[in-house]
Amino acid sequence: MSSKVKKKIQKLKESSTLVINEKSKDLISKGKKVFQFGFGQSPFPIPDEIVEKLKKNAYRKEYLPIQGLPRLREKISKYLLTRTGNDYPKENILITPGSKEAMLLIHLAFNGEIIIPAPGWVSYEPQAEIGSNKVHWLETSRSNNWFPTGKELEKKIKSINKKNNLILILNSPNNPSGTVCNNLEELARVAKKHKVLVLSDEIYTDLTFSNEYKSISKYYPELTFITGGLSKWCGAGGWRLGFLAVPKKLTEFLSSLKSLASESYSTVNTPTQYASIEAYANEHKQYKLKVRAILNAVGNYVYTNLKSNKILIAPPQGAFYLMPEFKNKKYKTSSKLCEAILDETGVAMLPGSDFGFKPKKMLTRLSYTDFNGTEFFKNVTNCSQIDDEMIKKFAPNVVEGVSKLSNWAKNL
C-alpha cells in the first residue's frame, strides 16, 4: 500500500530552530550548562498597557470577521502609512495567527516561483514547498552586508523561465544575519523592471538599531506585500498576532486568502485582536527605544568580544542575531561545527546550512537573547548608559557564553 502521508509533506522536517531548543533542554536536564544562543525569542515583557487591554477583553467570545477586527486593521493601516508613506487601506489588511501563517497563505495562493536570498529564515523554503512553488536560492555575500546586489538579483531573475510569476522574499533586519538592507531602492528598481512581486517580511523592522523604519515598499508600493506582527518588537510571539498588507494592485489575492483563512483557522482569537489595537494605536516610543538600546548594546558586546582572526562577523544592525563565520579546516560542515561547539562549550547555535547556505560555509546564527529581559528592562533608566558592567550584571549567560566561544575558537 502507498504511504498515507503525501511525499512532499513527509520530506518536511521539524524546524531546526525548535530542534536545537529541544536538544539544549535535553542537555540541561542532564545537568550541563547550556548557553541558549540557538533560539530567537524576545526576552522582554510585553508593554503593560497592551497586557491590560488583553485582560479587559478576555470575556469576549464571539467570532470576529475572517479578515480581522476592522479597528485593528485601521490602526495597522495608519501604522504602515506613517512608516512607509504608503496607503495599504484597511480593506487590504488581513489579520493572521502570526505572520508565518500570512506567508503560508500567500504560498498556497500564489502561482509561480520564489526567490529567497541566502541567508533566509528557516521556514521560507518549506512553506514554498507546501505551496508547490519552486524555490531559487540567491546566495549573498558579506561585502554587500548579506543582501543581494541589484546585479545579482537581475542575474537570478534572468536565469528563471520568463513566463513564470516570481516573488522575491526580503527580510530586513535579517534573521539570521542581523544586518539591515542598504540597497532597497536598487532592489526595488530591478524587481519593478521585471515585474517581480516582493514579500517584505518586516517582523523585525521595528527593531532597527538606527531607529529608522526602512521598507522596500517605499520604492515599490504597487507590488509589495508586507507582513508584520507583535512577535518580535513587543515580545508577544505566543499571542500569535500577525498581519498581511496587500497592495491595491494585488487585491485579487485577497478573496483567495480570505477563503483559505476561513477554511483553516477561521479568524484570530478575539481578545488578542482587541488588545492589539492598543499595540498599533500608540507608538510605544519609550518602550521601543529601550528595547532597541538594550539589544544593540548586548549585540555590540558580543560582536566586540567575538570578532578575531578566527571569527568574522558583521556588527549588529537590528533584530537579535549575529552571524559569526568560523575560519577552520577541521569541520566539514556548519552543522558539524555547531555540534562540536555545543558539546565542547555548551553554546547552542544554528548552522548556516539551515538558512540556505552551502553546508561547507562555516556560518552560524547566534541569537543574543539568553538573558532576563524583564530585569534588564527594569534597570535601564538611561538608554545611553548601558555599559559592559550592566551587560555583565544583567546578561551573564551571554557574557560567559561569548567568552567560552571566543576561547574555543582560538584553538581552531
Ligand X SMILES: Cc1ncc(COP(=O)(O)O)c(C=O)c1O
Burial label, 299 (beta-carbon count in 10 A; 0-12, 13-18, 19+): buried
Of 95 and 223, CB closest to ligand X:
95
Q: How far is the CB of 310 from ligand X (least distance, A)?
A: 28
Nearest to 76 by CA among 244, 308, 269: 244
Cβ-defined contacts of 264-269 (< 8 Å, 24+): 265/96, 265/97, 265/101, 266/63, 266/66, 267/63, 267/64, 267/65, 267/66, 267/68, 267/95, 268/64, 268/68, 268/95, 268/96, 268/97, 268/240, 268/241, 269/240
Q: How far is the CB of 80 from ligand X (least distance, A)?
A: 16
Q: How far is the CB of 244 from ligand X (least distance, A)?
A: 10
Nearest to 131 by CA among 101, 175, 153: 101
Of 89 and 237, CB closest to ligand X:
237
Sheet of 166-171: strand order equals: 93-96, 242-245, 224-229, 197-201, 166-171, 113-118, 135-139
Is the backbone peptide bond immediately before 126 cis, with ω within 30 degrees of 0?
Answer: no
Which amino acid is residue 95, in one-letter code?
I
Alpha-carbon gap, residue 119 to 346, rounded angstroms: 25
Q: How far is the CB of 209 from ligand X (least distance, A)?
A: 17
Of 36 and 231, CB closest to ligand X:
231
Binding-site ranges for ligand X (CB under 6 A): 40, 98-100, 121, 171, 175, 201, 203, 229, 231, 237, 242
Of 253 and 355, CB closest to ligand X:
355
Q: Which set of grid coordinates corresponds to residue 36? A: 541558549
Nearest to 135 by CA among 143, 127, 145: 127
Q: What's the distance, CA 10 to chain centroid? A: 25
Q: How far is the CB of 327 from ligand X (least distance, A)?
A: 27
The residues, ordered by sequence, that sit 6+ positions from 184 with a Cβ below 8 Å of its Cβ are 172, 214, 215, 216, 218, 219
Of 122 and 223, CB closest to ligand X:
122
Alpha-carbon gap, residue 190 to 181, rounded angstroms: 15
Q: How far is the CB of 205 from ligand X (least distance, A)?
A: 11
Of 40 and 271, CB closest to ligand X:
40
Q: How far is the CB of 97 from ligand X (least distance, A)?
A: 8
Q: How far is the CB of 229 from ligand X (least distance, A)?
A: 4
Q: How far is the CB of 7 from ligand X (least distance, A)?
A: 26
Using Cβ positions, the residue closest to ligand X within the complex turns out to be 98
Of 86 and 172, CB closest to ligand X:
172
Of 238 and 396, CB closest to ligand X:
238
Q: Which set of grid coordinates corresponds to residue 243? A: 498581519
Of 40 and 247, CB closest to ligand X:
40
Which amino acid is residue 54, in one-letter code?
L
